Amino acid sequence: MKFAIFVNITRDKALELARELTTWMEAHSIDYAFDPQSAKALDCGKWEEKSDLSQHCDAFVALGGDGTLLLASHYSRSKPVVGINVGDLGFLTEFSPDEMWTAMDHLVSGNYSIHTRSQLEATLESGELLTSLNDVIIEKGSASRRLPAFTILLDDEMLGSYRADGIIIATSTGSTAYSLSAGGPIIAPKSNVFVITPICPHMLTVRPIVISDDKTVKVSVDSQSGEFPLKMDGIQKKLLVPGEVVTVKKSPYHINLVANEKRNYCEILRKKLLWSHEHPTGE
């Protein structure tokens, strides 16, 4: 068995865990490879290009926060991905550093369960195809003087056109990411829906809308000038020009996240969003 390891190289704790993990793997005769950036930070010669890791590795390990796991998932090609959380607010990285060894034992033995998560697929007019686990985001950019209008079509029928700072199309997984910060609803995992969330809309009547994930969404920006960032999972992929159409739909490919059997979704929400009320002593 061979593991691909992605590390948040800006966190000392993640680098420390990576060293401990590779020592454990070598002691158990388990092969591994880092992505190039992680290997360089750790001064390790065992690395492969990100695009080659899914071909040679059986599972992926992300040491960091949700961003590190998202990066790993982009290259996992349906291989199991386990997230060890050394960040702060992590919805996807379900295992704590103390739980890493149990997670690894389960991975090696094959005794684990999977959360299968849908992805989004964005197609550009050029034919370029991009995928994301959380969301597709189009923002107003900095070049346009006037707030642009975002035109949205559902299955080629006009949904609306409104002025805003941007638009987010999120999966149920991504509903607790940027969409939540922009006022979107929390959607339970495995719900067969997407949510379209406006970012700071000009009109108060513009609200997030939840749609079936079998819909095709087309978004374009109505503006006289400017360039508009297209982001996939928060990473800018392209600058769109006025009128350029981005087509978004459910990807035929999915992500397999290794589940922490000691936790459930409700517990994660309570912990991450501070929904659990503790009564003071004596009340």
Catalytic residue chosen out of the listed positions 31, 66, 155, 233: 66
Residues tagged in the binding site annotation: 66-67, 134-135, 146, 163, 165, 176-181
Which residues lie closer than 8 Å to 29 by C-beta, 6 or more apart? none
Strand partners, 3: 32, 59
Using DSSP, state whether 216 is helix, strand or coil.
Answer: coil
**Closest to 97 measured CA to CA, from 114, 78, 84:** 84
66 counts as catalytic: yes
In angstroms, the CA 135 to CA 24 distance is 35
Q: Do 82 and 103 form a contact (C-beta atoms < 8 A)?
A: yes
Q: Do 49 and 28 form a contact (C-beta atoms < 8 A)?
A: no
Residues tagged in the binding site annotation for NAD(+): 66-67, 134-135, 146, 163, 165, 176-181
Q: Helices H, strands E: what count in the chain?
A: 7, 16
Helix (H) or strand (E) holding 81, with range, is strand 80-85
Q: Which residues are catalytic?
A: 66
